[in-house]
Structure 1
Amino acid sequence: MPPNVILIMTDQQRADSLGCTGNPVVQSPQLDALAARGAVFRNHFTPHQICSPSRSTLFSGLYARHHGLTRNGVALPEELPLITHDLKTAGYRTHGAGKFHFQPILAGPEHAMPDSNAFWDLPQSEGWTGPFYGFDTVDILIGESVSATEGGHYANWLRDTAPGAAALYLPEHALEPGPADLDEVWKSAIPADLHYNTWITGRACRFLQEQDGKQPFFLFVSYPDPHHPFSPPAPWCDMYDPQQVPAPALAADELAAMPSYILDGDREEAAGSYVDFLRNPGPPREQGFMQTTRRFSEASLRQAIAHTYGMVSMIDDCIGRLLAQLQAQGLAQDTLILFTSDHGELLGDHGLIRKGPSPYRPLLHVPLVMAGPGVAPGPRRGLTSHLDLRATLLEHLGLAAQDTDGVSFQAMLAAPDAEGRGKLYAEYHPRTRMDTYNQTLLTEDWRITIYPENPDWGEMFHLASDPGEHINLFFSPDHANEKQRLAEQMTCEFPPAPQAGGPSLATY
């Protein structure tokens, strides 16, 4: 029988946020132990720094321009083949627990989409558990933080289990007042045993308890954190001293040499907070809510980082429960485990927070840990991408290859020194500012980003000498030849596709 597969995913988690990936402060003993017996991919990237496009790329092995979900607010076509369909065809039992985000959260009831809040007011939601995008059954959570209590199985469970507890997620019920200059930071009053991370883990463990080892399974466990708002519950909100977290990496005036929309975005963000947007979305705003940290004190920003670390440690603790259940079922030796995130978070680097159009490394670079049958221990240095995971899993499991945009890195699982990709592409499709559409070519030494709709903008970094991407060389005369070479290569191999994607059904 082929091995079982558990794919654990977080939302908006940087590659450097775990002990096993070099973070000197974060306590992640469960993932560190998993990494010690498996592979840590040091240079794993997503081609899309926004939630839904990245998730859809991981499951389909296609760029967003090909699977159609180019921006949040678009639905993934239900007929599109995904890794879940591949595994079902091969006899796997498929289940998912947590956040999927394959459909717009705010899609209207006429669409009857289970990943939308409106679906859960319809009669057909009663008792519904799937099928859903190749999953036989699902336990769905929609959104994160204050928005996770409106629709989905978790919202129904919380309403039935602890009536009125949903309000405890709100900042006005915080355990103590948050900083006045950064209203996305607070200590959530929701008890940890009612928190969605705990619920997701419980649902995943229940699924494992039902497995008898006679049929292989694919289990997707998807946590909404450490996505902003930065609002973990106790005790995780107090786990880290803000004064002990690493300071963000930034250089003086570095944004002055970057595309002007980055600084312009502060004006839009000043119009209202992200929490206000979740409560009353209003007109569409650009994805990611990127803004500078100029209005935030150092203490407030450090508190956001400390809370992010707390969310990471809470998830790590949940993963410990999951792995203990797997061990108790006698399935640990026969299960391939993957841990990753859909995209990263700026978290103060470059003087920016959250995410946005610019494909900085903290957004595209995500963790990937794999352990289980056929995976040799040790770090992997080669470039790998979410785009490649479907092809890699199919080859590793001995299943028929499918036509995707990715390339299998299965050779790296058994041989830590095997080579990865020579390059990878990334792409951002905007929601409101169409001139921020951009394409990126990333190699071991260079990252170049072009804006086909605005030739006055561009980004180019020599990663060999500037790994932190602080010195934009795009308009440097001394680097004109290199820029032309890389730009022409990208235009030839990955031509612009600013109009790609399906129709927008909702703001997000």
Structure 2
Amino acid sequence: MSKRPNVLLIMTDQQRADSLGCLGNALASTPKIDGLAKRSAVFRNHHTPHQICAPSRSTLFSGHYARHHGLTRNGVALPEGTRLITHDLKSQGYKTHGVGKFHFQPILAGKEHAMPDSNAFWALPEANGWRGPFFGFETVDILIGEAVSATEGGHYAEWLGRVAPDAADLYLPENALEKPPEDLEEAWKSAIPCELHYNSWITDRACDFLREHDGADPFFLLTSFPDPHHPFAPPAPWCYMHDPLDMPMPNAKQDELDAMPSYIAETDSEEAQGSYVEFLRNPGPPREQGFLQTTKRISDASLRLAVAHTYGMVSMIDDCVGRILTELHRQGFADDTLIIFTSDHGELLGDHGLIRKGPSPYRALLNVPMLMAGPGVSPGERSGITSHLDLRSTLQDYLDLPATPTDGVSFADMLADPVASARDTLFAEYHPRTRLETYNQTILTPEWRFTYYPKRSDWGEMFHLTSDLGEHKNLYFEPEFETLRDDFISQLKTDFPPAPDAGGVSIATY
């Protein structure tokens, strides 16, 4: 192509694939994203191979499994020399800019590391006026964390401190518009005004970039929202948009966890060490990633409130996406831009009697939205398996960039051809932070999700997705599936050998 298209990558945090109207959710209010989907390739079976924030994000940008790029768990930093899609684009004349959440470095990394993705960096002299470069981005507007932790460092925290010095406290649950429920204190109605909220700030900065871009060179713009990640705390009017009484109860079957690895139910004992909000305010000893918890001690009313607030956060993001797409059109870039909408991973949100995320790679965590619209893209659904692992190779093909070896496979052919072939197998992997025996590996096929725990022969997960898409009946120890189970284990040992010790050194709690 004579002039390469621009690329607008819109990314959310912890958003399930089934949270959008265009992907079948009748209760979701996402008209702007649904409108984008009508002119998009809609990938229904798009997955991340890592259900934790930082590893997944680094995989999307690098095209490598976490075991190869090194950021295997939150608290580890992506090595400075890691080459990402941003480097590919910058080398070919793209203006690269990122707004919002990156999470390539630990939020709590000490000041001696001088990492811009950490809060400590912003108290250093070198933070004054700093806007990049950062991992292939020429310039950035950084937000760090989410909810109560988003006001401690980064460009957003600096901006909020200038324009509304006392507003940071409005994010706190004790200042909520209504008192949070006692059995789920992280579901509250945030008192921060919508115009001061980080989602609005991210949208404003993205629109500023589009207005200021001269169009001489193509651009790559990352717009990365930290929601709908828990806490479940949207501001008004979004916190009132969905009535909890209208929310369905999560999809859970009685006693289904009895056949699952025992650590899942045991996570409640760790939860007794303190709530997630308390951990954000005053992190103590490291805890396992994801803050997995059963819903045994959470009332139906509180669960419905969390679901309603999640839909509210998604609706707020939808409104922000609408503003960005309007600005893209206003500046004359709409016809020459590849627009991508996705998320780093999903959220259990009560399914299986669990909330948040954790070591077990349920599809609610691995399956994320992926919409792609732009020049040469044929609208319609794609049913084949695709992955964050594949995006860098896909963009290299689509944009005619020099090819770089990755762990992924390009699905660029699927953009123009809805029936083009896709991958038939995807590996996934979880590297734990504290409970090392929960290290696991997964094989995902159109028919099966198989998960193996190399350190625990008494744990395993095996779901027949054709008959049990919701993953409620674990077949791992059923005698009739013993041969297939052994075949999957053999495949992992041959094609994706266990690597529990892979990755860099943890330099912070998260």
Q: Report the TM-score when normalising by structure 1.
A: 1.00
Seq. identity, %: 71
2-structure distance, mates of 1:481, 1:246:
38
Say if 2:54 is the partner of 1:52.
Answer: yes
2-structure distance, mates of 1:81, 1:177:
46
1-structure distance, mates of 2:248, 2:10:
26
Match of 1:28 among 27, 30, 33: 30
Q: Identify the residue that residue 7 of structure 1 maps to in structure 2.
A: 9
Question: For 1:402, what is the secondary structure of its paired residue?
Answer: coil
Contact kept in structure 1, 2:449 and 2:463, CA below 8 Å: yes
Q: Identify the residue that residue 171 of structure 2 maps to in structure 1.
A: 169
Contact kept in structure 1, 2:249 and 2:303, CA below 8 Å: no
Match of 1:87 among 71, 75, 89: 89
Contact kept in structure 1, 2:17 and 2:369, CA below 8 Å: yes
Cα deviation 1:30-65 (Å, max 9, x = unaligned): 110110011110000000000000000000000000
1-structure distance, mates of 2:308, 2:422:
34
Q: Identify the residue that residue 278 of structure 1 maps to in structure 2.
A: 280
Match of 2:370 among 365, 368, 380: 368
1-structure distance, mates of 2:246, 2:395:
39
Q: In structure 1, what residue type is equivalent to 2:9?
A: L
Cα deviation 1:99-123 (Å, max 9, x = unaligned): 0000000000000000000000000
Of stretches 457-466 and 338-347 in structure 1, the one that deviates more from structure 2 is 457-466
Q: Identify the residue that residue 122 of structure 1 maps to in structure 2.
A: 124
2-structure distance, mates of 1:282, 1:46:
29
Question: For 2:17, what is the secondary structure of its paired residue?
Answer: coil
Contact kept in structure 1, 2:90 and 2:136, CA below 8 Å: yes
Contact kept in structure 1, 2:191 and 2:235, CA below 8 Å: yes
Match of 2:297 among 292, 295, 298: 295
Question: For 2:132, what is the secondary structure of its paired residue?
Answer: coil
Cα deviation 1:287-312 (Å, max 9, x = unaligned): 00001000000000000000000000
1:418, CA displacement in angstroms?
A: 1.1
Q: Identify the residue that residue 433 of structure 2 maps to in structure 1.
A: 431
Q: Identify the residue that residue 41 of structure 1 maps to in structure 2.
A: 43
Q: Identify the residue that residue 205 of structure 1 maps to in structure 2.
A: 207
Q: Identify the residue that residue 352 of structure 1 maps to in structure 2.
A: 354
Q: In structure 2, what residue type is equivalent to 1:37?
A: R
Q: Identify the residue that residue 19 of structure 1 maps to in structure 2.
A: 21
2-structure distance, mates of 1:245, 1:17:
13
2-structure distance, mates of 1:9, 1:418:
25
1:449, CA displacement in angstroms?
A: 0.3
CA RMSD of aligned residues (A): 0.5
Q: In structure 2, what residue type is equivalent to 1:234?
A: A
Question: For 1:324, what is the secondary structure of its paired residue?
Answer: helix
Cα deviation 1:411-441 (Å, max 9, x = unaligned): 1000011121101000000000000000000
Structure 1's unaligned 5+ residue stretches are none
1-structure distance, mates of 2:379, 2:242:
30
Q: In structure 1, what residue type is equivalent to 2:443?
A: L
Q: Identify the residue that residue 394 of structure 2 maps to in structure 1.
A: 392
Question: For 1:42, what is the secondary structure of its paired residue?
Answer: strand
1:162, CA displacement in angstroms?
A: 0.2
Q: Identify the residue that residue 162 of structure 2 maps to in structure 1.
A: 160
Match of 1:408 among 410, 434, 457: 410
1-structure distance, mates of 2:300, 2:274:
21
Matches within 5 A, 1:246-325: 246-325=248-327
Cα deviation 1:90-142 (Å, max 9, x = unaligned): 10000000000000000000000000000000000000000000000000000
Matches within 5 A, 1:466-481: 466-481=468-483
**What is the number of equivalent residue pairs in this alignment?**
508
Q: Report the TM-score when normalising by structure 2.
A: 0.99
Q: Identify the residue that residue 188 of structure 1 maps to in structure 2.
A: 190
2-structure distance, mates of 1:40, 1:231:
29
Structure 2's unaligned 5+ residue stretches are none
1-structure distance, mates of 2:4, 2:216:
11
Of stretches 445-454 and 115-124 in structure 1, the one that deviates more from structure 2 is 445-454
1:194, CA displacement in angstroms?
A: 0.0
2-structure distance, mates of 1:39, 1:244:
31
